[in-house]
């Protein structure tokens, strides 16, 4: 009986995909499609665009403020009085009144505006860093969806090979039993394993459909055929640089998440300055031109024009303690932002350590499992030969075959986990997204 190998499983999967091989989707294409299609990343871009408008809004506080006001009224005046003889008199007077006023205000000294502009710049940096964090997160989300889909299809291929082997064993056991050389137990044991394999096949088929749907929702493209891992060329290597401390230092310097929190801390510090400016005076230059016509009952049909230029000083004296309260509030917010940054820095070090170990230990695990697959394959071959010689039972062969399939499955998981570790690690340190995807995509074959 032939021993199912990982190459045989790969060939089986490739054979199933052969009719649509030209349409195979690789990781780079999936990522590019997700960049254009994913709703959450489009929402993040829109949020960043909205936050960037804070800066021109703040800068506008330094520019002149010009306003024009105009009114036009129709007046119906009824007057009642008595003449010198005591007789009542009444007369009506209809007239139009109106006014126009043009005013200009140029801020000269407003310390709160300077703090507000600097704070707006920090908030724009925060929004840009948060967008970069979400963009980096998209790399990881696409990678997880893609490799989950590949692993599910690998499991289907393994189960199909295992099912074919069980069917072959079941046929041989029945023929041997009919010839009087076998035992009913052999048939029952193989039938039990076959039934379990069929049940697993149904479960895995559902998982394949789920992972395919997940990837299609993310990319907006069909994902029926995916580029698989080229196991012949796949050669995992430890991350470079090889020191964990170097990766942590790079992450602390370039992590989009930390950049966003640093910008938030700076914005909180500037909020303190802006609140303290509530105690300081402001100075504006003002100019006004106004014209009025029939502006009162005593000046009907008269016109007035007024022009003024000057300075306006505003000195806050007492506002009920609200400014002091705002300063205390801003100081507390600054403390919160500072501690949030420190907590995120520590957490980032733990995550970098986790992904760094996933790559370094992943190299050793892949090599160990490759050896385990070879050993399990040899053990299966030996048990099959021993069964033919009568020194092993069908149950021994079934157990050896189960170990072989488990080793193949674990090896596939280890390979994909290594690739995800690479995506995660480089994403945490803020490396170029397209380069990160291309580095992993190079191991795939369409």
Whole-number pLDDT of residue 13: 40
- Rounded-to-integer distance, Cα 223 and Cα 217, Å: 10
pLDDT digit string, tens, across residues 143-168: 999 999 999 999 999 988 888 887 87
- Residue 93's alpha-carbon distances to 71, 88, 162, 303, in angstroms, are 20, 17, 106, 18
- Residue 325's alpha-carbon distances to 78, 277, 338, in angstroms, are 55, 13, 20
According to the 3-state scheme, what is the secondary structure of 171-202? HHHHHHHHCCCCCHHHHHHHHHHHHHHHHHHH
Residue 90, pLDDT > 90, answer no
Residue 118, pLDDT > 50, answer yes
Query: Out of 198-202, 275-279, 286-290, 426-430, which region has the weakest mean confidence (pLDDT)?
Result: 198-202
Q: What is the pTM of this model?
A: 0.81
Q: What are the DSSP calls for 316-352, one per residue? A: ----TTHHHHHHHHHHHHHHHHHHHHHHHHHHHHHHH
Tokens standing for residue 26: 């690789």
pLDDT digit string, tens, across residues 52-79: 999 999 999 999 999 999 998 888 877 7
- Rounded-to-integer distance, Cα 25 and Cα 208, Å: 16
- Quote the percentage of the chain above a pLDDT of 90: 65
* Residue 67, strand partner residues: 103
Provide the terminal-to-terminal Cα distance of the chain, rounded to the nearest Å.
Answer: 32
- Provide the 3-class DSSP secondary structure of residue 445: strand
Dihedral sign computed on CA atoms, order 367, 368, 369, 370: positive
Identify the structural domains of the chain with CATH numbers, from first to last: 6-64+110-280+321-445 (1.20.1600.10)
Whole-number pLDDT of residue 175: 79
Residue 300, pLDDT > 60, answer yes
The angle at the Cα of 446, spanning 367 to 368, to the nearest 5 degrees, equals: 5
- Rounded-to-integer distance, Cα 196 and Cα 402, Å: 12
- Rounded-to-integer distance, Cα 265 and Cα 175, Å: 77
Task: Name, in order, each residue with C-beta under 8 angstroms of 260's C-beta and a sequence gap of 6 or more.
Answer: 126, 129, 130, 133
- Provide the 3-class DSSP secondary structure of residue 2: coil
Find how far residue 79's CA is from the centre of its chain: 74
Whole-number pLDDT of residue 428: 94
- Rounded-to-integer distance, Cα 84 and Cα 88, Å: 10
Whole-number pLDDT of residue 418: 96
Neighbour-count burial for 19-40, b at 16+ CB within 10 Å, e otherwise: eeeeebbbbbbbbebbbeebee
Find how far residue 67's CA is from the centre of its chain: 44
Q: What is the mean pLDDT of the chain?
A: 88
Residue 348, pLDDT > 90, answer yes
pLDDT digit string, tens, across residues 322-341: 999 999 999 999 999 999 99
- Rounded-to-integer distance, Cα 78 and Cα 256, Å: 74
Whole-number pLDDT of residue 23: 63
Whole-number pLDDT of residue 19: 38
Neighbour-count burial for 127-151, b at 16+ CB within 10 Å, e otherwise: bbbbbbbbbbbbbbbbbbbbbbbbb
The helix or strand, by DSSP H or E, that contains position 228, with its residue range, turns out to be strand 228-229
Whole-number pLDDT of residue 434: 93
Tokens standing for residue 192: 């039990």
pLDDT digit string, tens, across residues 377-395: 999 889 888 877 777 777 7
pLDDT digit string, tens, across residues 2-35: 444 444 444 444 443 333 344 689 999 999 999 9
Query: Out of 20-24, 66-70, 218-222, 441-445, which region has the weakest mean confidence (pLDDT)?
Result: 20-24
The angle at the Cα of 249, spanning 244 to 252, to the nearest 5 degrees, equals: 125
- Provide the 3-class DSSP secondary structure of residue 416: helix
Whole-number pLDDT of residue 297: 65
Instruction: Tally the C-alpha atoms within 13 A of residue 112's C-alpha that lie toward its C-beta.
Output: 14
Q: Any idea what DSSP says for residue 281?
A: -
- Rounded-to-integer distance, Cα 166 and Cα 228, Å: 26
Q: At 400, is the pLDDT very low, low, confident or very high (cuts 50, 70, 90)? A: confident
Q: Rounded to 5 degrees, what are φ and ψ at 73?
A: -125, 145
* 8 A C-beta contact, residue 224 and residue 197: no
């Amino acid at each position: 009986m032939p021993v199912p190998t990982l190459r045989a499983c790969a060939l089986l999967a490739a054979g199933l995909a052969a009719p649509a091989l030209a349409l195979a989707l690789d990781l780079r294409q999936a990522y590019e499609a997700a960049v254009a299609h994913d709703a959450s990343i489009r929402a993040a871009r829109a949020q960043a665009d909205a936050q960037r408008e804070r800066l021109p809004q703040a800068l506008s506080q330094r520019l002149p403020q010009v306003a024009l006001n105009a009114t036009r009224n129709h007046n119906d005046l009824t007057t009642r009085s008595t003449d010198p003889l005591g007789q009542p008199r009444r007369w009506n007077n209809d007239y139009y009144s109106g006014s126009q006023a043009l005013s200009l205000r140029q801020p000269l000294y407003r310390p709160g505006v300077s703090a507000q502009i600097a704070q707006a710049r920090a908030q724009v940096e925060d929004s840009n860093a948060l967008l970069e964090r979400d963009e980096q997160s998209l790399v990881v989300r696409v990678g997880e969806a893609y490799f989950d889909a590949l692993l599910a299809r690998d499991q289907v291929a393994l189960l199909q090979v295992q099912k074919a082997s069980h069917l072959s064993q079941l046929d041989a056991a029945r023929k041997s039993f009919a010839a009087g050389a076998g035992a009913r137990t052999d048939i029952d044991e193989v039938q039990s394993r076959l039934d379990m394999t069929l049940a697993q096949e149904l479960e895995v088929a559902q998982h394949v459909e789920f992972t395919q749907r997940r990837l299609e929702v993310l990319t907006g493209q069909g994902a029926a055929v995916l580029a698989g891992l080229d196991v012949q060329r796949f050669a995992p290597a430890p991350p470079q640089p090889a020191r964990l401390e170097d990766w942590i230092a790079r992450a602390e310097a370039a992590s989009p998440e930390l950049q966003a929190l640093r910008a938030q801390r700076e914005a909180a510090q500037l909020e303190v300055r802006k609140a303290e400016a509530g105690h300081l005076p402001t100075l504006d230059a003002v100019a006004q031109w106004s014209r009025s016509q029939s502006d009162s009952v005593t000046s009907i049909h008269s016109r007035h024009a007024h022009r003024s230029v000057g300075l306006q000083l505003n000195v806050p004296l007492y506002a009920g303690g609200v400014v002091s309260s705002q300063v205390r509030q801003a100081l507390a917010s600054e403390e919160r932002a500072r501690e949030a940054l420190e907590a995120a820095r520590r957490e980032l070090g733990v995550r970098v350590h986790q992904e760094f170990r996933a790559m370094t230990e992943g190299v050793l695990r892949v090599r160990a499992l490759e050896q385990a697959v070879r050993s399990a394959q040899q053990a299966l071959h030996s048990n099959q030969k021993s069964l033919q010689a009568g020194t092993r039972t069908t149950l021994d062969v079934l157990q050896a075959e189960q170990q072989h399939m488990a080793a193949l499955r674990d090896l596939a998981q280890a390979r994909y986990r290594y690739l995800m570790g690479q995506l995660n690690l480089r994403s945490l340190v803020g490396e170029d997204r397209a380069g990160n995807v291309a580095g992993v995509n190079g191991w795939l074959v369409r």
